[in-house]
Structure 1
Amino acid sequence: MAKCQAADDNKGSGSNMLRDRTAVYDPEELSLLGRVFEQSVAALPPTMQTPANRTEIAKIILERAAAGEPPAPLTTFALDKAC
């Protein structure tokens, strides 16, 4: 699985983030997923808050949400998988 990268190691883009998956979320779910994402990114040291790491965290959160995982533990799960 991808590892978190420091700012000077950042390469690539997140253009393929949702290439094979689609889901529909209501506004409340989107708000909750957004908060989980922001908490996950904020938990990283500043040098690890790169666009690549933000993309990886977003992908993990969306994958877990699509799999029916409860939103609260997604922050911990995303950080465990991304870093």
Structure 2
Amino acid sequence: MTLIWSGPDTLDARWWDNAKAEDIVRVHQTATAWKGQDLMARSAADAIREQVQHATGSTSKPERRVWGTAAGLG
């Protein structure tokens, strides 16, 4: 596997402190698309899934949880 991920460090608490719902969704979608080709993308997708699951207590897709929470639906 080649490492090509240039997205944010989703393991860094500072990213989470500043990320908006649309940032989380965008990065998760990108990381998920690349996770089969890049270990760092896989790590980012997993970290987002875990963080959003922890924050919302939901096991649905992060996009649904984040947008639902941002819209007051979660």
TM-score tier, shorter chain, comes to 0.3 to 0.5
TM-score normalised according to structure 2 size: 0.33
Higher relative contact order (CA 8 A, sep 6+): 1
More helix by share: 2
TM-score normalised according to structure 1 size: 0.30
